[in-house]
Chain A
Amino acid sequence: MVPTTRQPCQPRSSPSPAAPPSYFPFANQEQQRRQDAVKRTRLGRWCSCVECGPSDNGSLERVADVVSPLLEALVLEPKYQPSLALPQIAKQDGGEISMRMRNGSAHVLRCLKVWYDLPADTFFNAVNIMDRFLTRMKAQPKHLSCIAVSAFHLSCQFTPGYSHVRDIPQVVPDTRDLTSISQCKCSSGDVSRMERIIMDKLATDLRCQPPITPLSLLRLLYNALVHLASPLLPTPDPCLPPLTSLVHKLEIVACDSAAAIYRPSELALALLAMELRHDNNNKAVYYACINHLQNICKITYETFDLCQKVVGELIDQYENQRHSPHRQRLVWKLSNRTLRQLRPTDKFTTRLPTIVEMQGPSHPPIIRPRMDSECSEMYLSSSEEEMDYDYDEEFPPLPPPAASLKSPRKSPSQSPHKKNPAFLPYPQLSRKHTRVA
């Protein structure tokens, strides 16, 4: 696709700097305007930035730094655009990968990215590789996990790490580790073979250029937005949400196949639009900037509307912290020793039938002033069971049996009717235990 930037004003090939004859009354103004137009068109990309207030040369040039990479990315965008033609739900015979399966794999890739502490680029690149591969090749569901893991491994190898940012060396996980942790049911040999197939089919040399993904567009558009909006906003720093939270949301969007039909620029811009609609103070400014960027990216209004709806739904689900529709069936491998005894009552059997507690008829409880309050309350409740049974009178406390003489609490010399701590319903416990009411 040959890029054509829309320019309302035709470029003037030869600017005329000479002052017009003084008999033209508005010549100076006209000249000034023409000079400005020349500056703009010389940059060649800026179109009808009518709201740009201060038009000093410096900001325009900085704007150029922001816009040119954006336009370069837009040029390359179609090369990396997948077009997934997968059915929504898998057919009964299980011969085809469905959108749902693809989404599940995308979520697994996201988890692996977090697991290995990799930058977001790795994830987006991996999803892009996987999607483009699935566009080209009709694969079987049993190979999907292998495809996903291979795409991930490729992405790790070719995505520059964070080394320039945080002194973290680039991490390329070992394939054996990767296959075992992701539970993908394929061997590392399978992964290597699949990688070669993918590289072969996609015919893009990943070493030269990382794919253009929604993330790359998000970054470029974010910068562009900042540059556009900050001069216009009342406060010096734009109150845009931080890029990291936007990246997380974009990841969620990328995991859903409903978003896969849109261009990365559309998705990124739609996300920005959705995020900024909440900012009531600067809505007008942002709306104008987004509009402008929309024109640069050549997104039609209809497409943009639909895209915003899709993105909006996915973001809503994320924000409301609702459970993801994907639940991976994970394998929980335990050691034998632990498996043998999981719950204590696993091996508990009893042949003793239940003995039902008898409820006595309610009658005034027997008052026992000589016992302390706690015990009398407990004893009153148990006396109901034995109805007219007054156990203390019928059976005076027994002398301590010979075997338990070692207990210091029981002293044989006490008279049976004297309060004996050993024969209260519960022995006196040491004070450190709090009493339960």
Chain B
Amino acid sequence: MHLGVSESMRECEYSQISTRSSTPMETPYKKRTPKKRKWESFPGRNKFFCDGRIMMAKQTGVFYLTLVLILLTCGLFFTFDCPFLALQLTPVIPVIGGVLFIFVLGTLLRTSFSDPGVLPRASPDEAADLERQIDVANGSTGYRPPPRTKEIVINGQTVKLKYCFTCKIFRPPRASHCSLCDNCVERFDHHCPWVGNCVGRRNYRFFYMFIVSLSFLTIFIFAFVITHIILRSHRSGFLNALKDSPVVVCFFSVWSIVGLSGFHTYLISSNQTTNEDIKGSWSSKKGKDNYNPYSHGNIFANCCAALCGPLPPSLIDRRGFIQSDTPQLAPPTNGITMYGATQSQQSHMCDQDQCIQSTKFVLQAATTPLLQQHSSEPVILTASHENGGTLPGRASLVLGGPCTSLPLGQPTPPTSTSSLSCHEPADMLPIHGHSHGLQEPVAHHHYLTPEEVPSPPGMLPCGSPMGHNHTIQAGFYDPASQDSLHEDSVRGLVKLSSV
């Protein structure tokens, strides 16, 4: 420690001598990187536009199809049917059509572009604290960690809260992890490829207004197109009239959209999500005493709450700037810690940096006196003998980076091609973290719909190295909170060695 002090003192003198050109050198890390906004290092699989103001899912192809269909249908209606109808019947028809069209577009764009209620991932300190609590509660075993659930009672009903391994939080009730967007979303309804986004707490009312207004619009267009055809077929033939109108598109969409609106009206009036309805969580078939604890009692109150309730703010602060967070947990005996090191910057480092850092950490671990306080020290030393493939997995687990962002040549999930039906969420239980235990894969098959099973192909290479050393994982969670300060000490040591 004295060595550290004298070394840093020497460094002080050195920088004083060469002040002519060295002012930027004192803080090389901070000056080199310009201020980034938080959306640029968002860990989920989302696309951002307009400097973070617009947020969508990764696959937006079907959304553009939706736009094209709506624009095409309305365009044909206004071009071919409206002039005739305005003259023959009343000019109010195109006006109403126009209003409906604008409302539909507005709600569609609002649904697609807004944050559905994404829950930000846990900070490393939080995750470590949770891990510690879970270990204490379960009695740390050397083997695979037990499935992580918490049971709570809400308004008389027992609800299980599941632990999300990607986001490292216990999911609030009604939240679910969307595997397509790789985010936990509050009050998750479903992932809708037609709007190119998840439907959750913050945009459910816009989604509902979109499908209801679209139902009215399609019925409106359908009705007046039929009227037009009938009126025109009095003059020219039936087939002539038919060829100019968007009847076919309308015909098919009317039934599906109206059906969907009806379904969601039912969901809103009973205050359920699509997910809950499909699983039958609150159906009376499961038991006589099974009821929905979230319902407000009557249909009117449920509708008001869903549609006119207060709009919660976005929790992910897309346009905020990344800045140094609250101070790190300090090492008790390390005077060379870089105090200004930023936790958020570290967690947003590219994964190759994480690999390098954690490799350095492992190699330097023996020289740092800190590890003598951890009982997991021998565990960490054995990890250094593993191949480099384990470390990316470990780094991503500890530092919260998703496995999917690893540079493993991950293809886009095959579910994208089959995603034309709206997805129900699959609860993201440990398919990519800890599914090496004998019992866990069996238990978790309940939660995986067939679409979800192939979804994280890129994650499996991350998951399988971890499968070889599950004994080490239990130990890794302890130094998770110390990881960032270990990196500090490593950086410090590296700096020392370079002086």
Are A and B part of the same complex? no
Residues in chain B within 8 A of chain A (CB atoms): none
Residues of A within 8 A of B (CB): none
